[in-house]
Amino acid sequence: MTEAVRRLIGRPVARWQGGAVSVVDLVDGTTVVAKHAPGAAVAEAAGLAWLAAAGAVPLPGMLGHDEDWLVLEHVPAGPATAAAAQELGRGLAALHGAGARQFGAAPPGGPTEAWIGRAPMRNLVPPWGPAQPWPSWYVAHRVLPYLRRAVDDGTMDARDAAVVERACAVLPGVAGPPQAPARLHGDLWSGNVRWAADGRAWLLDPAAHGGHRETDLAMLALFGCPHLARILAAYDEVAPRADGWERRVGLHQLFPLLVHVVLFGGGYVGQAVAAARSVLALA
């Protein structure tokens, strides 16, 4: 790790603590974060740059990266405040509004083979093919790949998989009104929101791509997020969501829940199936 930091930013390390993600004190007194992400670092770096280009939400600055390592600005932690939550809601609305080339589009310079956490995630890169409507893209490229892997790994049985497949069949008819491709963080669970000492909420560890704006917001709700109601209310002040969004939360959570089934096992199967049943209930 010390050699990677020195090579990427040209500054020697005094001490460090952590594992794959380490807080590193440099000899000059600066603190940075070094992240070991073999095969995923390029995609994350491209995602951070693309999200930062919108000028909408705070993200850690990229100090250096290669195919395996990222060296990032360190963001000291602080309390989760109502003011930071409201600023985050407004910022997310602006971020999503910055848009994407099409659904599934990778950040500029990002690879086709990206990641969400430790799970592979396929994005689209130039030359662009015909754009798909969001529901068909979501089913084909976000839901079904993880369902197939869960079944192939023996984590989900055929009966539960059939519920998800039925949800996929009805999803195009219940996904709500058409939306323009949004610029998504892509892995916006509460653990990737850094409530910082500067009084703001920063976003970390993106799996950025073009998608549906309700997906980011549904991910925030998945495992609980401080001041979530304030975040959503501030978001809606800037860019109100389409009517019926409350009933579509499970539809958008289906993807991250299947990713959790793949990464962490059968403990998430029940939640994934419940999300699929919520889609069926919309039909």
Amino acid at 40: A
Beta bridge partners, 22, equal 18, 34
Bridge partners of 15, per DSSP, are 25
Strands 119-122 and 113-116: antiparallel
Report how far apart, in Å, the C-alpha atoms of 97 and of each of 23, 93, 172, 221 are: 33, 6, 23, 20
Question: What residues are annotated to the active site?
Answer: 187
Distances in Å between the Cα of 66 and the Cα atoms of 5, 40, 197 are 11, 10, 29
Distance CA 31, CA 18 (A): 13
